């Protein structure tokens, strides 16, 4: 692998509104310990020696604001770019990917909404791509049993259960997900072409696109602290995790 390929670039989709979090600022700008979620997420990536460039896909009307915000928080000497995101997560990632030099070997995609991912997870994902995988996702096993259901007969009514997949074979996937840059670029272009033909709906994770087009995705261990801030209770949990870190190591 040449020198350019050895340094990974990261795309951070941060253009979502955070509707499930409730009214307030766009989710990426909501604060955790007095610092925006996005800044935590970018710092978590920048902590990895493997990451040389971070591209943030910001809300289209907030590019200048996000760039100023990241500037004011400093980034440990990494390259940083802010681009306008899109209407779906998939589109935001594609637009972020377009700002990464074609010669880059490895690309990570990391949700702005996962502010507390430990650097060991970032490094493990990069290491698995370096070791030969084209697509890598960090994941954890499930605490709850999961059931597949069909639509309720009447809106709001009970949903009939179809079946119960064996929990031991299920994983909840997190980010950063890691890819060979060429693989990720190719599947995003294919998905865009399909979409124009009225094809499948957008995916909620990038590895899903690799699967859709026949690539091999592998799983490495994720971390419970890499959870996604989605609902109000997640912010309470994130505050508690951050307070514990600050108490234990002056994080
Ligand atoms: N995202 C994005 N562009 C979009 C939608 C989502 O960049 N058009 C990003 C979010 O900013 C977030 C990540 O994708 O960092 C994961 O998405 P999710 O947790 O669903 O965030 P939101 O879409 O903002 O939340 P919600 O679905 O509750 O509105
Ligand atoms: Mg969403």
Q: What is the pLDDT of residues 95-105, one digit of tens each?
A: 999 999 999 99
Could you identify the atom of ligand 1 that is nearest to the CA of residue 17?
Answer: 24
Give the pLDDT confidence score for residue 219 in this predicted structure: 98
Report the pLDDT value the prediction gives residue 2, as an integer from 0 to 100: 45
Ligand 1 close to Cβ of residue 86 (< 6 A): yes
Once rounded to an integer, what is the mean pLDDT over residues 127-135? Answer: 98
Ligand 1 contact, 111 CB (< 6 A):
yes
Quote the pLDDT of residue 6: 66
CB 140 within 8 A of CB 222: yes
Q: Which one of 11, 13, 16, 235 would you pick to mutate in the ligand 1 pocket, going by the greatest count of ligand atoms within 8 A of its CB?
A: 16
- CB 132 within 8 Å of CB 120: no
The verdict on whether omega for the bond into residue 176 sits within 30 degrees of 0, i.e. cis, is: yes
Residues within 5 A (CB) of ion ligand 2:
16
Which residue CA neighbors atom 25 of ligand 1 most closely? 18
Give residue 4's pLDDT.
45
Instruction: Judge if the beta carbon of residue 5 lies within 6 A of ligand 1.
Output: no
- Spacing, Cα 200 to ligand 1 middle (Å): 19
Is 96 close to ligand 1, i.e. is its CB under 6 Å away? no
Q: Is the CB of 205 under 6 A from ligand 1?
A: no
Q: Compute the distance from residue 16 Cα to the ligand 2 centre, in Å.
A: 6
Decide if pLDDT at 3 tops 50. no
Ligand 1 and 177: CB distance under 6 A: no
Task: Please say whether the beta carbons of 43 and 77 come within 8 A.
Answer: no
Residue of 244, 230, 250, 246 lying closest to 30 (CA atoms): 230
Question: What is the rounded distance in angstroms from the CA atom of residue 74 to the CA atom of residue 138?
Answer: 27
pLDDT for 76: 67
pLDDT in tens, 62-83: 999 999 999 999 776 789 999 9
Ligand positioned closest to the Cα atom of 38: 1
Quote the percentage of the chain above a pLDDT of 90: 88
Q: What is the pTM of this model?
A: 0.95
Intra-chain end-to-end CA distance of the chain, in Å: 34
- Composition of the chain by helix, strand, coil, percent to 5: 40, 20, 40
Per-residue model confidence (pLDDT) at position 199: 77
Q: How far apart are CA 164 and CA 179, in angstroms?
A: 31
Query: Residue 1: what pLDDT?
Result: 47
Q: Is 207 in the pocket of ligand 1 (CB under 6 A)?
A: no
CA of 87 to the centre of ligand 2 (A): 10
Q: Is 23 helix (H, G, I), strand (E, B) or coil?
A: coil
pLDDT tens digits for 9-56? 999 999 999 999 999 999 999 999 999 999 999 999 999 999 999 999
Pocket of ligand 1 contains residue 11 by CB under 6 Å: no
229 phi and psi, to 5 degrees? -75, 110
Residue recorded with tokens 């980034």: 75
Query: Residue with structure tokens 């865009």?
Result: 192
* 115 Cβ closer than 6 Å to some ligand 1 atom: no
Mean pLDDT of the chain: 94
152 vs 194, higher pLDDT = 152
Q: pLDDT tens, 177-186?
A: 999 999 999 9
pLDDT at 173: 98
Determine the atom of ligand 1 nearest the C-alpha atom of 86. 8
């Amino acid at each position: 692998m040449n020198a350019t390929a050895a340094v990974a670039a990261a795309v951070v989709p941060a253009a979502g509104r955070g509707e499930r979090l409730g009214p307030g600022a766009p989710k990426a700008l909501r604060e955790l310990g007095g610092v925006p979620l996005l800044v935590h997420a970018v710092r978590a990536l920048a902590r990895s020696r493997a990451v040389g460039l971070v591209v943030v896909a910001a809300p289209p009307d907030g590019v200048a604001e996000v760039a100023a915000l990241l500037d004011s928080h400093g980034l440990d000497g990494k390259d940083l770019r802010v681009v306008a995101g899109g209407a779906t997560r998939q589109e935001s990632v594609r637009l972020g990917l377009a700002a990464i030099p074609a010669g880059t070997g490895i690309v990570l995609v990391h949700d702005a909404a996962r502010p507390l991912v430990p650097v060991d997870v970032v490094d493990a994902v990069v290491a698995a791509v370096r070791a030969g995988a084209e697509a890598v996702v960090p994941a954890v096993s499930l605490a709850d049993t999961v059931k597949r259901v069909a639509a309720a007969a009447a809106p709001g009514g009970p949903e009939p259960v179809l079946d119960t997949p064996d929990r031991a074979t299920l994983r909840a996937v997190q980010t950063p997900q890691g890819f060979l840059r060429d693989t990720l670029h190719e599947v995003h272009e294919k998905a865009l072409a399909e979409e124009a033909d009225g094809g499948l709906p957008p995916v909620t994770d990038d590895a899903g696109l690799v699967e859709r087009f026949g690539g091999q995705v592998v799983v490495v261990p994720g971390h419970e602290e890499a959870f996604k801030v989605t609902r109000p209770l997640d912010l309470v949990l994130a505050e508690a995790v951050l307070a514990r870190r600050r108490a234990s190591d002056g994080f």
